Amino acid sequence: MDDLLRVSIRVDTADGEIARARLLELEPAGFEELETAGCSLELAVYTDATGLACVRECFEDVSVTLVKAGWQEAWRSFHRPVIAGGVWIGPPWEVPPRGKPAVVIDPGLAFGTGAHVTTRLCLELLARQPRGSLLDVGCGSGVLSIAAIHLGFDPIIAVDNDPVAVEVTRGNAAANGVALDVRVVDGITAALPAVDVAVANVLLEPVIAILGRLDAAIAVTSGYLTSEQPDVEGWRPSERLELDGWAADVFLAA
């Protein structure tokens, strides 16, 4: 693995939501957030030279530190397990608690580890929905689909327009000992199967496009800020959760 860099940016607190959204697009595996003196935030990611270049393209105030001896442990300490919707989600080197349904995701795959707020919010909302068939649009690492199996949804179809993400989802499903129907499908342009519940944890504009194409009774969406909310004909908002500047919604078919 290339040298690990700790790349941090500092922004005004008022600009925190926008900075988080931009950084998440660059580093889907997540980031550190530290409060600093005054009205500012420090956001940091652990990445390589390629990741550093991407961050510098989007942000002006960038600081870089080479993580030297023991960087593997520093990297591991950055990826901590979480519990959402009653499901434990963590990296392979952590031991799940006994009696708790568990999803193990390798953060090195960088398609979403489950630790990000939007994933946790989606799982909390999914856990409150009636069980039935589920469609995961933009499945990424497959963490939501795998967790949904533990929640009791069946059958589950996971789709993504990126063939690499589809292979990652299949690999994660196999590593967790579960079977998933995973397909390469563009949720914005292709026909989507009819299901009881759909989930889409992507950005606001794709969520709006996906909602317009869904054939489902319930939709759980996230990937956008608390100041944003999809507004799509045929869907009415039913419930919202917010955390750390991010939001997730439940929509009912009108």
Residue type, 74: A
Domain 5-76 and domain 81-253, same fold? Reply is no
Rounded to 10 deg, the angle between the 143-151 and 117-126 helix axes is 30
Q: What is the pLDDT of residue 110?
A: 46
Q: Does CATH number 3.80.10 belong to domain 5-76?
A: no
Residue 29 contacts residue 113 (beta carbons within 8 Å): yes
Q: Which residues make beta-bridge pairs with 181?
A: 157
User: What is the percent of the chain with per-residue pLDDT over 90, rounded to a whole number?
Assistant: 53
Sign of CA dihedral 254, 144, 208, 239: positive
- Residue 3 pLDDT grade (very low, low, confident, very high; cuts 50, 70, 90): confident
For the chain, the domains span: 5-76, 81-253
pLDDT surpasses 50 at 181? yes
Q: pLDDT tens digits for 42-69? A: 888 888 888 889 999 999 889 998 876 6
Q: What is the DSSP string of 3-60?
A: PPEEEEEEEEGGGHHHHHHHHHHH-TT--EEEE-SSSEEEEEEEE-HHHHHHHHHH-S
CATH class of 81-253: alpha beta
Across the range 84-102, mean pLDDT stands at 88
